[in-house]
Chain A
Amino acid sequence: DAGITQSPRHKVTETGTPVTLRCHQTENHRYMYWYRQDPGHGLRLIHYSYGVKDTDKGEVSDGYSVSRSKTEDFLLTLESATSSQTSVYFCAISESQGNYGYTFGSGTRLTVV
């Protein structure tokens, strides 16, 4: 498809449980991003990576952690899921920093009950 896949596509989890979302790319792009999409808020950056083991926080990073042990995989972990983390999560990739368009994955719809 677009060289980027997210898994799972849908997930329902209980409050307090850890959850990991996976983003996998086949484009060998250096930059990877995690955004959450909520009505009225658009796309907000959670964390991003500018290389293997190189990550940084975005504007809504509290309660989330990330890891990137390989170029192709970027994992987002909710340490202890809360209802406020119910959202659609999008991963994006970019070949260069900040001045090239992103390619987005298909998204993961996460519901925390």
Chain B
Amino acid sequence: GENVEQHPSTLSVQEGDSAVIKCTYSDSASNYFPWYKQELGKRPQLIIDIRSNVGEKKDQRIAVTLNKTAKHFSLHITETQPEDSAVYFCAASIWDKLIFGTGTRLQVFP
């Protein structure tokens, strides 16, 4: 069935370094790829998304890249800050629903 794999499951970086989270999806019909950030005890919140007709999208320190041929997409966070510490989820659209990855716990150490 539809599947989204996310790696790594945990990621620790020093403040100011970059962080990269990678996802792969199985359904070639997927055309929408959002990323969510979930702080401890809070709801997941959309931080950036990309559609299949775009290869890269940036929003300040956050960027997402998409390789449709390889069915890969990635989240890049530059100049990480302690407030970036959270769990990040990728997702891929399958018709009228989103399938989520298993999450990456990012810890940014001062």
Footprint of B on A, CB under 8 Å?
Answer: 2, 31, 33, 35, 40-45, 48, 50, 58-59, 90, 97-107
Contact = CB atoms under 8 A, between A and B. Distances in A.
B93 A90 contact: no
Interface of B: 1, 6, 9, 31-32, 34, 42-46, 49, 51, 89, 93-103
A99 B44 CA distance: 17
A59 B1 CA distance: 9
Contacts of B89: 42-43
From DSSP, what is the main secondary structure of chain B's interface residues?
strand
Contacts of B100: 35, 42-44
Contacts of A97: 95-96
A48 B43 contact: no
A98 B93 CA distance: 5
Given A98-B32, A100-B32, A58 B44 contact: no
Nearest to B52: A99
A57 to B, nearest CB: 10
A106 B44 CA distance: 9
Query: What are the 5 tightest A-B residue pairs by CB atom distance, in nearest-first order?
Result: A97-B96, A99-B32, A98-B93, A42-B102, A101-B46
